[in-house]
Homo-oligomer: A and B are copies of this chain.
Amino acid sequence: MTSDYFLLDTDSTADRDGLRHLRLSQRWNTPLGRPNGGYILAAMLRGLGEELSAGEPVSASIDFLAAPTDGDAALLTRRLRLGRRISTGRAELRQGDRLIADLTANFAADEARRGRSTELGTPPNLPEPSECADPRSFMRAAGITGGIADRIEYRLAATPGWADGSPSGDPTAQLWQRVAGVSHMDRIAMALLTDAYAPAVMELGETASVTVHLSVHLYRRPSPGWIATKLTTRHLIDGFHEEDCELWDEAGSLVAQSRQLALLA
C-alpha cells in the first residue's frame, strides 16, 4: 500500500498576504540529489491555485533560477488578473535568501472550457502497460535509484539505447507514466509528469541537461490510469535544446503538452 506522497509533498500552508510555507521532500529527488523540477512546479502550482481559488490550471510557465534543496521553502504568490474566463497569478519559491524558481500560471473555471475541440495529433504507439517492462532494473544498474524513481512508475516498450550504453541517435522517448499511489491524477500531477523522466538528449549521448524554462498547457483532467508520454528533442543549438512532451490518457485524449528550454550540463 503506497501513500499519496504526491498530495502530501506538494502541500503548502497559507500564512498571510499570499505567503505560503512548504517543505520540499527528498522523496522527489533526481539522481543528482536535488528535488525534481516537475515536483517543484507541481508544489508551486498547487499553492498558487489555492491562493487564487479561480478554477484549475490551464497553463504554467516556470523559470528555474537556482538549485533547490530538500527542506523548508517559502512561496510568495500574487494575483495578476481575476478574469471572467481566465485568472492569472505569479509565485516565487525562496529558500532562505535564494530565489529558486519563478512561476506564472493561468487558471480557468470549468465554464470557460466549453469551446470546440479538434485533435490532429495521435497518442504514442505503445503496447498496453501490462505488456511493457518496468525499467527499474536497468535504472538501478545506471545508478538511478530512490527519490523520484520510487515515486513515479514507468512502463517501457523497449530498453532505451542510453541504458544499454549505445544511444540511438534519435532523441525521442515513448513510455507510460503514473504517480505511485495516486488512483486518479489531477492536472497538477500532469505538470509533474512533463518533466519526470530522463531527458531525450540522452539518446544523443548526453548525460545531463539543466532545465532553464518550462511551459506547460494543461488541457484536461486525465481519465484514471496510465499516461502515455511522448518526449522529443529536435533542435540542439550551441548547447541549448528544447524538449517537447505530450501526455495522453488511457482514453486516448491529449491531457497536457509542454516545451522546455534546457542547457547541456
Question: Hey, which bits of chain A sit against chain B, CB under 8 A?
Answer: 58-59, 61, 63, 65-66, 80-81, 85-86, 88, 90, 99, 102, 104, 106, 112-121, 171, 204, 212-213, 215, 217, 219-220, 233-240, 242, 254, 257, 259, 261, 263-264
Contacts and interface: CB of A to CB of B under 8 A. Distances in A.
Contacts of A233: 120
Contacts of A66: 81
Contact of A102 (B86, B88, B204, B242): B88
Given A102-B80, A213-B106, A217-B242, A88 B117 contact: no
A61 B215 contact: yes
Nearest to A106: B212
Contacts of A240: 58, 113, 115, 217, 219
A59 B217 contact: no
Contacts of A86: 212, 263
B85 A65 contact: no
5 contacts: A61-B61, A86-B212, A116-B236, A217-B242, A259-B259
Nearest to A204: B118
